[in-house]
Homo-oligomer: A and B are copies of this chain.
C-alpha cells in the first residue's frame, strides 16, 4: 500500500512507520510517502495521526498505477512534454559510429522539425567479438549535437559501471532490454531527477517491467517512461514480436508515458513504417526509430535501420494518423 504522510511529521516518526510496515520512504515535491509491500492491506491504528491518506494496492505496481495517480505523468524532455497530446519521435542510428554520421543525423532531425536524437555509445552486444560502442567518446559526440542543434539526447546505459557517466551526458537515460533488472542502474537512476526510459526485456512480463519502474520511482525519481520493443516468441521471421496488447495494458493501468520501438521488434527495415503507423494510431507518447545515413555499412543492427529517405516518407505518412488520433509529432 501507499501511505501519504501528513505535513510536519518528523522524519523519525516516518522512519518508525516505514520500519513497522517494511516500507520504503519516498519524497515527491513536498509530500512524503511510505510504500509498503502490496501484501500489506492496513496500518496499525497507532499511526492514524500521521497518515493523510492511503491506497491499498493489488500488486507491487503501486506508484505507477492509475489507481494511485490517474493521469499520465507529465515529463519534460527538451521541447517535448510526455503525458500531453504530443508524441515524441526520436531517431538516430543504433550506435554512435563517428562525427560525420551524427552530423547527418542531426541535420535530418532538424530539417524534419523534430527535437530529439537517439544513439548508443555503450552497446550491449551478446558477443564479445562484436563492436561494443564508442563509449565516452560517443557520449561526447551526442552532447555536441545537443549544443549545436538544440536536440535532446536519448542514450543507453549498459551496466552500472558507467551509469553516472551516462547520467551526466544524457537528457534521457535509456535502460536497455538486457539491463532492466539491474539494481545498480535502477537505484542510481532513482537518485537522479532526469527522465529514465526503461525498455522492456524481451523475456520480461508486463508485471516485472512495471516493477522495474517502481525501483526508480520509489528511489525518488518520478520521471519514468516505459518502452515496448518486442518480446521473444517462437516466431523467427521477425527479430522479436512487438506486443501491442501489452501497450494497451500499460495505457489502461499505468500512469507512465509509453514509447514504442518498432525497429528492434521487427529487425528488418521493410516492416518498420507499417508498425510505426500502427503504434501512432494507438495514441502513444513516443516512437524510437533507427535511421542511418547508410544502413548497409552500419556496425550494428544493419538490417533494421531506415535510410534518411525512407524516414522522410514515413514521417509524412505519420502526420495524418497522428492528427486522426488528436496528437502532434515533436
Contacts and interface: CB of A to CB of B under 8 A. Distances in A.
B234 A233 contact: yes
B271 A277 contact: no
A31 interface: no
A274 B282 contact: yes
Contacts of A234: 203, 205, 231-234
Q: Give the copy number.
A: 4
Nearest to A204: B203
A313 interface: no
A301 interface: no
Nearest to A184: B159
Interface stretch (A41-49, A71-79, A247-255, A285-293): A247-255
A212 B245 contact: no
A158 B129 contact: no
A126 interface: yes
B127 A60 contact: yes
7 contacts: A60-B129, A178-B181, A206-B237, A245-B266, A248-B266, A278-B281, A281-B321
A235 B244 contact: no
Contact of A129 (B62, B184, B265, B281): B62
A218 B252 contact: no
Interface in A236-269: 236-238, 240-249, 251-252, 265-266
Nearest to A250: B237
Contacts of A235: 205-206, 231, 243, 245-246
A321 to B, nearest CB: 5
B280 A127 contact: no
A161 interface: yes
Interface string A156-188: 001111000000000000000011011111100
A138 interface: no
Q: Report the interface size class on chain A.
A: 35 or more
B274 A251 contact: yes
Nearest to A239: B245
Contacts of A160: 159-161, 184
A19 to B, nearest CB: 14
Nearest to A253: B237
A230 interface: yes
A317 B282 CA distance: 11
B245 A265 contact: yes
A129 B212 CA distance: 11
Contacts of A251: 274
A296 interface: no
B248 A232 contact: no
Contacts of A279: 278
A205 B278 contact: no
Interface stretch (A32-40, A83-91, A97-105, A144-152): A32-40
A158 B271 CA distance: 33
B179 A182 contact: yes
Contacts of A324: 317, 320-321, 323-324
A195 interface: no
